Amino acid sequence: MADQILFFIEVVVGGLLAGTMYSLVALGFVLIFKASATFNFSQGAMVFFAVLAFVGFMQDFNVPFVLAFFLAVGLMVIVGLCTERLVLRPLMNQSEDTLLMATIGLGYVLEGLAQAMWGVEVRRLDLGIKDFPIPWIADNLKLFISAIDLTAGAVAFGMIIGLSLLFKYTKMGLGLRAVADDAGAASSIGIPLKHIMLLVWSAAGVVALVAGMMWGARAGVQFALVDLALKALPVLIIGGFSSIPGAIIGGLLIGATEKVLEVYIGPFFGGAIEGWAPYVLAIFFLLYRPEGLFGEKIIRRV
Amino acid sequence: MKPIFMTYTRNDIINLAILLIVGVVVIPMTVSSGYWYTSILIPWLCLALATIGQQIIMGYTGQLALGAAGFMAAGAFACFNLILRVPGIPFVGALIISGLIAAAFGILFGLPSLRVRGIYLMVATLASQFFIIWMIDKFGWFKNYDSSGIITAQDIVIMGKPFTSPIEMYLVIVAVVTPMTLLAMNMARGSTGRNWMSVRDMDIAAESMGVSLLKTKLQAFAISSFYCGVAGALFAFTYLKSLEPVAFDIKLSFKVLFMVILGGLGTINGAFIGAGFILLFPVLLNYIGNNVFHGAIDATIISAIEQVVFGVLMIIFMIYEPLGMARLWETTKVKISHLFTKNK
């Protein structure tokens, strides 16, 4: 009995930690949605693009770890700059569906560019953290928790706190919130819309890079990351598109639920229900709370 | 551009007759190489049919659905099982029933559209995509307990005559696609289509005008997935000639989505233009890669370039011509006709 409880806790904790990875992807999405009311479908492609560039710098050009990280960050800023210039500015004041489809196109561009530059083979990424249980926890609490999962959880948590503080207490954050509320009014009182957009897309790029590093260290840097990142969408539906804490809680909820369902109910259906369970969960959420747990209620005019 | 609900003019009927003669008489008589049929004409018509399905739900009803490939898989495997398990079932009958089965899935996964829209609906329809593929993959019954994972599709037999050569299969597809396209055009310009478009343009206003959202949206989902189901069955039986769930993954859904958007939202001929473009462009790129650069460019790089071009085109069309290539075609036609009238 005690073993079963321990096993259950292990499953839940494993799921929660895997969920933080979804949260990391969702976080980049929320950042952009908050500032520009754009559903950025290319966030998954950004994850892939950023981490592939990072690994590419390290492995193909023998750039040291830290320098490669900053090069990748610089690259993501350039991507943000180009996106703002070439995609967002011409599409200003268009409907959200148009913007959404443009970001699907952007995602295709990023995926294609990444593969053209760095190739399609799976690359290993070694962060120096091992994907096996931490001995201390395994010995004392009898729980098997992977070190890399725990690191990812800690990193995600750190980024969330950092970003929340940024939004709340800096002048920049105030500007961001003003733009999110009403872009026209904000720019009329002198908030530089362009800079804010660039900032937000760069921040989302950095978040994507970190998320990609975590995913990549675990499963290898490969195209499948894009599909995995799609799971950030149900996370967002549960948490709400405009809430940073929502992204976290949604991620944790999805991560834990999909693991529990997979382990306890999956065997009855031949397994691998992880692939669709989050989406079905999201549908049920949609039926009861279309705006998500922390989202703002959507009011539309005729 | 002509309003969509205008009645057919004499020119339209002449155009249709010309297209039919070209499609049924000229092409089978002049084109003899199997390559044209198996690699271009057959997949083009199958995917165009699926694109019409996506067009109905996205272009006409304005519901951002992203699960065309899931419904295509449902149709393909339904057709396989019907022919396998129901002795003596005619192929066309199996095709219609598989379309209806896909339509049932469409209604089920279209239910969330009554509450949500935009990207929320996209996520809900992603559920259908992943669920249907998983279901076919996990339950051996659908695949007739075949362990290899790839099943060979049965031969198409109509009235005791097998249709196996590329030309014969092409004719079967033309015989299915033509009436379905005409039907789609008629639905789009009739009251059905007007209801769809009123829901697309402003659902709340449509509701207050007496258009039942429940009926209109679910009807659109059902018809859309019927088209996708039939297209999927044809795609598997004539183009792939095998059935494997992987062939209907999310990438195919995105492809169909691109065909709709590049072709032109809310147009039936856009479905054919878009499908043709997305299908032919990679062929062209490969041709350039092989003949101009003599294979100096790696095949993976070519497919990456193809992806970049599709993405860039998508963005360009969203910015400059949200109504896609069909609209470009219309405006060029008008410009050319102006040139001629001026000269006279």
> Does the distance separating the beta carbons of B315 and A86 come in below 8 Å?
yes
Question: What one-character-per-residue DSSP string does B229-270 give?
Answer: HHHHHHIIIIII-EE-GGGGSHHHHHHHHHHHHHH-TT-HHH
**Residues of chain A whose pLDDT is less than 50?**
none
What is the percent of chain B where pLDDT is above 70?
97
**What local confidence, expressed as pLDDT, does residue A259 receive?**
87
Cβ separation B314–A101 shorter than 8 A? yes
pLDDT value at B98 more than 90: yes
DSSP B170-200: HHHHHHHHHHHHHHHHHHHHSHHHHHHHHHH
Residue of B265, B302, B319 to mutate, interface with A, max A Cβ within 10 Å: B319
Q: Is B284 on the interface with A (CB under 8 A)?
A: no
The domain defined by B10-343 folds into ABC transporter involved in vitamin B12 uptake, BtuC (1.10.3470)
What are B286's two structure tokens?
């490969």
ipTM of the complex: 0.85
- Residue ranges of B 73-132 with Cβ closer than 8 A to chain A: 112, 115-116, 118-120, 122-124, 126-127, 130-131
Domain range list for chain B: 10-343
User: Confidence class of residue B2 from pLDDT cuts 50, 70 and 90?
Assistant: very low
A282 interaction partners in chain B (CB closer than 8 Å): 123-124, 127
pLDDT for A143: 66
Best to test chain A binding among B113, B120, B137 (most A CBs inside 10 Å): B120
Min Cα distance A77 → chain B (Å) is 19
Task: Say how many C-beta atoms besides its own lie within 10 A of residue A137's C-beta.
Answer: 15
Task: Report the CATH architecture of A2-288.
Answer: Orthogonal Bundle (1.10)
Residues 6+ apart with CB under 8 A from A108: A45, B307, B308, B310, B311, B314
Nearest chain A residue (CA) to B308: A109
Task: List chain B residues with CB under 8 Å of A276.
Answer: 127, 130-131, 134
The two structure tokens encoding residue A132: 């096996």
Per-residue pLDDT at B225: 95
In the stretch 254-273 of chain A, residues with CB closer than 8 A to chain B read: 269-273
Give the CA distances from residue B278 to residues A128, B28, B59, B209, in Å, rounded to whole numbers and listed in that order. 43, 24, 18, 39
Read off φ and ψ for residue A30, nearest 5 degrees: -65, -40
Confidence category of residue B299, pLDDT binned at 50, 70, 90:
confident
Q: What's the pLDDT at A142?
A: 64
Task: Give the C-alpha separation, B190 to B196, whole Å.
Answer: 10
What pLDDT does residue B149 have? 65
What is residue A61's three-state secondary structure?
Answer: coil
Q: What is the pLDDT of residues A224-252, one digit of tens each?
A: 888 777 888 888 888 888 788 888 888 88
Min Cα distance B251 → chain A (Å) is 10
Q: How high is the pLDDT of residue B35?
A: 82
Judged by a CB distance cut-off of 8 A, whether residue B190 touches chain A is no
Q: Above 70 in pLDDT, residue B40?
A: yes
Tokens 């995926």 identify what position? Answer: A111
Residue with tokens 């026209």: A184
Q: What is the DSSP letter of A133?
A: B
Gap between the Cα atoms of A278 and A230, Å rounded = 10
Ordered by start, the domain boundaries in chain A are 2-288
Distance of CA B332 to the CA centre of its chain: 25
pLDDT of the residue at A138: 65
Sign of CA dihedral A36, A38, A39, A40: negative
- Inform me whether the pLDDT recorded for B76 exceeds 90: yes
- Residue of chain B minimizing CA distance to A271: B138
CB < 8 Å to B260, chain A = none
Interface of A with B in 228-257 (CB under 8 A): 230, 233-234, 237
Nearest chain B CA: its distance from A49 CA (Å):
13
Maximum mean pLDDT: which of A86-100, A153-167, B147-161, B169-183 = B169-183
Question: Is B75:B229 a contact under the CB 8 Å cutoff?
Answer: yes
Which residue in A95, A109, A301 has the most chain B C-beta atoms within 10 A of its own C-beta, making it the best mutation to test that interface? A109
Given pLDDT bands bounded at 50, 70 and 90, which one contains residue B1? very low
H helix runs in chain A, sequence order: 2-36, 43-60, 65-82, 96-118, 135-140, 147-169, 171-181, 183-188, 193-219, 224-229, 232-239, 244-264, 277-288
Pick the closest to residue A149 from A218, A92, A90 (CA basis).
A218
Helices and strands (DSSP H and E) totals, chain B: 15, 4
For B213-271, write each residue's pLDDT tens digit. 899 999 999 999 999 999 999 999 999 888 888 889 888 999 999 999 999 888 888 89
